[in-house]
Amino acid sequence: MQILDGKALAAKIRKKAADEVAALKNKGITPGLAVVLIGDNPASHTYVKMKEKACEETGIYSIVHKMPDDISEEKILETIHMMNNNPNIDGILVQLPLPGHIDTRKVLDAVSPQKDVDGFHPTNVGELVLDIDCFVPCTPLGVMHLLDEYDINVKGLDACVVGASNIVGKPMMHLLLNRFATVDICHIHTKNLKAHTSRADLLIVGVGKEKLITEDMVKEGAIVIDIGINKTSEGQIVGDVDYENVAPKCSYITPVPGGVGPMTIAMLLENTIKSAKARHHVS
């Protein structure tokens, strides 16, 4: 069993990103990332602070537009429109979840596809499906980088993705299909989850349910990618996989924390730099 070390890979990617930003600055280009943060959700504030710190360490200009819970949808859309037209901003990120009175789809669709570093705009979603170069959601993109780092070729593998969200599960499915894996995607209404997971060569789980995947649900020698993040009653951070009992059966497995999590922010930096290069026609 080998651990897929996302923390180490993310550090390597961030070092490369800092070098790329330095080279762009020598050409008079400073990549810029803007974040829209609405309300007082503690998890959202933590994530945004982590993103700010990563930008600062990499040399990317970043700004956070903090708004109260009761902000109007119109004001949010005005802010996004302003950032779409701001030449100093290459990437726009709307921190989810949004308050209930806000139409999340309408807000995400307002972001320019060329600055959509989260990969949530329908244009980028469609291009991902068609296997056209585009902005890909950061978490599934991070998973692919992690597989590549360890020379894991998914072509021909039977893959099972547990979780069908627009942010993780669906784009994960398309990334694997584009690499010619055979993909089975499961969700909350799937009957007999074990029947799907137990035959997978590659099992990717991201639903946010502690110990959802147990030892008997995993094939001997499987590659297991755990995207879930859960806090136990004792305050411990764990994934969706019963790591202690599942790990001995695996050829490769990601830990939680230290697996996919660090890769998500690394991919955000990479997407922002990609946007800056594209907007300034720099290779």
Paired residues of 37 in beta bridges: 66
Of 90, 118, 226, 240, which one is the catalytic site residue? Answer: 118
Asked if residue 213 lies in contact with residue 241, where contact means CB atoms within 8 angstroms, the answer is: yes
Tokens of 95: 């921190």
Catalytic-residue membership of 51 = yes
Paired residues of 65 in beta bridges: 36
Catalytic-residue membership of 236 = no
d(CA 195, CA 160): 11
Count Cβ atoms within 10 A of the Cβ of residue 101 and give its class: 0-12 exposed, 13-18 middle, 19 or more buried: exposed
Asked if residue 194 lies in contact with residue 246, where contact means CB atoms within 8 angstroms, the answer is: no
Of 95, 170, 219, 226, which one is the catalytic site residue? Answer: 95
**CB atoms near residue 60 (< 10 Å):** 26
Count Cβ atoms within 10 A of the Cβ of residue 44 and give its class: 0-12 exposed, 13-18 middle, 19 or more buried: middle
d(CA 125, CA 105): 13
Tokens of 89: 């901003």
d(CA 136, CA 145): 12
Residue type, position 180, single letter: F
Which positions are annotated as active-site residues?
A: 51, 95, 118
